[in-house]
């Protein structure tokens, strides 16, 4: 089977499945009273309860609140933001276009807020003042590195108007423990507070945006854990048998300040020698293949490496500041040395979870102790006692992140599951991944598989820029539940590319927007997804919020052409575009190849058949099908054609 045939067959199967599901699901829904959305008289009610104030949870809340919905966020820690903040990974893992395309406008507002906070509250160096892409830490792995507590302040600022208006409530230090579910509808969820007391809430829709999918077992939703079997996913690099323990390592991160001439060695942690030898602690990374192990130096660049270890995820570069608050560099440590492979704390007892977290913390503090006492110095000798653990950066007594950096969660069993062949370079011609007609966001990051402690068959690999299908956010059975983070319907392998910062934010925004449309229409999320016009309405809402759903990097959010290009792309129109730079070139003249490719794209993506003989017949045949007047083209260029096509599609699908 050819690669093109694979993608086309996948889409045809999806379309057929949706038609079948539409009728069977609507029959079931007809038997389900709209009382699923009615509040209980004695239980606090919200339009949406979001379990988990993660990166995705914050994005989902912003999408809902901007539509006037009443929202509750429950969070296990006392910080909102997840991997952006409480997990300490504030050196963001992003793609090369992030400064101008490929993420929701709300994510870009967060990034802008971080930069503005430093500009407004600290004195910057001259070079930093005039740097439009100011990066406080200048970490070489990321275009934006900052202190986690600054991320918290920015998120609080983004949410403040809704807290003041009392449309948003945030409950910290809580976990879900029980739920009332009737006829696959979640009625209430009960949360346990830090003091042991409990609170129960009802809602029309529940979004699980927790770090490890904590709500899924509580409400009885089906989910996957670890690596699926090859027979289930068809993935080349999946194991032959399911491996539920193959869960990517998690990491307690910490921050260090370089204080020359000082001694800040911590007390030797428990199990130090064992962890040092078994992990082992090293500055080397095995990149595999012909590269092999590359060993980093602390402050200089060793051969075969990408830069110094010290500036890898540096949060504060002192050279960016002329402020007494930052006399020295501050870095965040997220390295194989503190990746814990001793076991995930998914589906274990509270006692086992506590034990595993203690071991993970000992491992992280042991790596710090090794850096302070045993690592080979660039200038000779061993250890850097001048590395000071900055407990205030993570706002914890032990100096470790409030929550470990989670790379893999429970994952729902959704209507669509994204598999290896949908995104990986080795299976596709590119320049984009497989097209999804229900796209709700975008992502791009290589499949990054961290050790699980077992002999993995999955491999890190490159992906094409991909889409996030809304069907991957919707569980097959539980009707008023949505995934809002890393717990969407992907596999152990594809999770490695969907788990990163801007992708998780896009997942959350898509989930919140889908929930808002469902509430407006007084329907279940599945009904919205199965209804062609409501699906398009959801996509338009995302586009108008500044969330791209198709990859054209030369038409960014804010361009007058952004909305029409993105909406017409939702139908599959441009899925066979071959420009390797992902550019549309709006002012180019139309060609016969354009019309042929776009006609094929519409047919394969949405089942719409048009006459591709000329621009006029293309539009006229479509107008005839929709019983609309044919638009008039002012000029024979791509821009004007797309604007005319957009008008026809909007009039038919949105009116």
389-400 burial, b at 16+ Cβ within 10 Å, e below that, comes to: bbeebbbbeebb
pLDDT, tens digit (0-9, with 9 covering 90-100), for 113-122: 999 999 999 9
> Rounded mean pLDDT of the chain?
94
pLDDT score, position 291: 76
CA-based torsion, 291, 297, 301, 307: positive or negative? positive
Residue pair 238/229 in contact (Cβ under 8 Å)? The answer is yes
Percentage above 70 pLDDT, the chain: 94
**Per the structure block, which two tokens stand in for 159?**
């949410």
* Distance, CA of 400 to CA of 367 (rounded, Å): 12
Alpha carbon distance 432, 80 (integer Å): 33
Residue 233 above 90 pLDDT? yes
Domain ranges of the chain: 3-230+407-544, 250-394, 562-654
Find the DSSP H helices in 374-406: 391-394
Please report the pLDDT score of residue 37 as a whole number: 67
Report the C-alpha gap between 558 and 268 in whole angstroms: 53
In which band, very low, low, confident or very high, does the pLDDT at 109 lie, cut at 50, 70 and 90?
Answer: very high
Q: Determine if residue 183 is left, alpha or beta; phi over 0 gives left, psi from -120 to 50 gives alpha, anything else beta.
A: left
Q: Cα–Cα distance between 601 and 254 in angstroms, integer?
A: 48
Q: Which of 110, 52, 118, 120 lies closest to 84 in space, CA to CA?
A: 110
- CATH fold of 3-230+407-544 reads FAD/NAD(P)-binding domain (3.50.50)
CA-to-CA dists, residue 256 to 13, 272, 442, angstroms: 52, 19, 34
Q: What is the pLDDT of residue 36?
A: 59
Separation of alpha carbons 293 and 263, rounded Å: 31
Under a CB-based contact definition with an 8 Å cutoff, are residues 392 and 306 in contact? no
At 209, the pLDDT band (50, 70, 90 cuts) reads: very high
What's the rounded Cα separation, in Å, for the pair 78 and 135?
Answer: 26
Residue 521 — very low, low, confident or very high, per pLDDT cuts 50/70/90?
A: very high
Q: Residue 321 is inside which H or E element, if any?
A: none
Write down the pLDDT at residue 30.
44
Q: What is the spatial distance between Cα 213 and Cα 218, in angstroms, rounded to a whole number?
A: 10
**Cβ–Cβ under 8 Å, residues 310 and 328:** no
What b/e sequence results for 88-99 when a residue is b if at least 16 CB atoms lie within 10 Å of its CB, and e otherwise? Answer: bbbbbbbbebbe
Main-chain dihedrals φ then ψ at residue 75, nearest 5 degrees: -135, 135
- Angle at which helices 592-606 and 615-626 cross, to 10°: 30
Q: Cβ distance 51 to 189 under 8 Å?
A: yes
> For 9-53, what is each residue's pLDDT tens digit?
444 445 545 554 554 454 444 444 445 566 777 899 999 999 999
How far apart (Å, rounded) are the C-alpha atoms in residues 307 and 304? Answer: 9
Structure tokens at 576: 């066979």
Looking at residue 195, its pLDDT comes to: 96
Nearest to 318 by CA among 388, 363, 259: 259
As a whole number of angstroms, the longest Cα–Cα distance in the chain is 81
Radius of gyration (C-alpha) of the chain in whole angstroms: 25
Axis crossing angle, helix 638-654 with helix 615-626, rounded to the nearest 10: 10
Q: How far is CA 406 from the centre of its chain?
A: 12
């Amino acid at each position: 089977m050819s690669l093109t045939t694979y993608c086309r067959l996948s889409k045809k199967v999806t379309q057929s499945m949706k038609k079948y599901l539409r009728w069977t699901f609507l029959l079931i829904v007809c038997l389900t009273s709209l009382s699923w959305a009615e509040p209980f008289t004695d239980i606090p009610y919200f339009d949406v309860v979001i379990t988990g104030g993660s990166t995705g949870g914050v994005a989902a809340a912003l999408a809902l609140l901007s539509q006037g919905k009443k929202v509750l966020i429950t969070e296990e820690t006392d910080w909102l933001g997840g991997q952006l903040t409480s997990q300490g990974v504030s050196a963001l893992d992003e793609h090369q276009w992030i400064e101008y395309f490929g993420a929701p406008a709300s994510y870009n507002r967060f990034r802008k807020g971080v930069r503005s906070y430093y500009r407004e509250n600290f004195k910057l160096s001259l070079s930093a003042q005039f740097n439009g892409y100011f990066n406080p830490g200048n970490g070489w792995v990321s275009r934006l590195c900052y202190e986690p507590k600054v991320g918290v302040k920015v998120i609080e600022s983004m949410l403040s108007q809704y807290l003041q208006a009392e449309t948003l409530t945030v409950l910290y230090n809580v976990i879900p423990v029980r739920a009332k579910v009737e006829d696959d509808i979640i009625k209430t969820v009960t949360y346990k507070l830090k003091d042991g007391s409990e609170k129960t809430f009802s809602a029309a829709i529940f979004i699980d945006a927790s770090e490890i999918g904590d709500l899924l077992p509580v409400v009885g939703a089906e989910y996957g854990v670890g690596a699926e079997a090859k027979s289930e996913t068809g993935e080349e690099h999946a194991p032959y048998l399911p491996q539920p323990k193959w869960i990517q390592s998690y990491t307690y991160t910490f921050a260090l300040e370089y204080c020359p001439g000082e001694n800040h060695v911590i007390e030797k942690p428990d199990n130090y020698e064992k962890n040092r030898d078994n992990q082992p602690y090293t500055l080397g990374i095995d990149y595999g293949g012909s590269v092999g192990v590359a060993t980093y130096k602390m402050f200089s660049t060793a051969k075969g490496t990408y830069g110094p270890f010290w500036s890898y995820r540096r949060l504060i570069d002192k050279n960016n500041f002329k402020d007494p608050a930052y006399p020295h560099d501050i870095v965040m440590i997220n390295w194989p040395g503190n990746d814990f492979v001793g076991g995930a704390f998914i589906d274990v007892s509270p006692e086992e979870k506590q034990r595993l977290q203690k071991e993970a913390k000992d491992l992280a503090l042991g790596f710090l102790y090794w850096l302070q006492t045993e690592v080979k110095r660039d200038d000779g000798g061993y250890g850097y006692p001048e590395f000071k653990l900055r407990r205030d950066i993570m706002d914890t007594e032990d100096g470790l992140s409030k929550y470990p950096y989670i790379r893999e969660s429970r994952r729902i069993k959704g209507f669509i599951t994204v598999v290896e062949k949908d995104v990986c370079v080795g299976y596709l011609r590119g320049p984009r991944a497989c097209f999804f007609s229900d796209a709700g966001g975008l992502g791009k990051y290589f499949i990054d598989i961290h050790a699980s402690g077992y002999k993995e068959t999955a491999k890190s690999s490159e992906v094409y820029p991909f889409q996030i299908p809304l069907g991957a956010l919707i569980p097959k059975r539980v009707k008023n539940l949505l995934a809002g983070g890393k717990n969407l319907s992907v596999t152990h392998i594809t999770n490695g590319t969907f788990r990163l910062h801007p992708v998780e934010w896009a997942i959350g925004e898509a989930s919140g927007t889908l929930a808002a449309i469902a509430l407006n229409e007084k329907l279940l999320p599945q009904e919205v997804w199965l209804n062609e016009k409501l699906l398009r309405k959801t996509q338009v809402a995302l586009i108008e919020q500044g969330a791209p759903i198709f990859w054209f990097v030369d038409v960014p959010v804010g361009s007058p052409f952004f909305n029409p290009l993105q909406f017409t792309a939702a139908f599959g129109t441009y899925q066979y575009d071959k420009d390797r730079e992902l550019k549309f070139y709006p002012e180019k003249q139309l060609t016969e190849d354009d019309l042929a490719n776009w006609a094929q794209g519409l047919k394969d993506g949405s089942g719409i058949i048009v006459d591709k003989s000329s621009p006029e017949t293309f539009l006229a045949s479509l107008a005839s099908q929709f019983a609309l007047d044919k638009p008039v083209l002012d000029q024979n260029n791509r821009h004007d054609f797309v604007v005319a096509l957009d008008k026809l599609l909007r009039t038919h699908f949105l009116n």
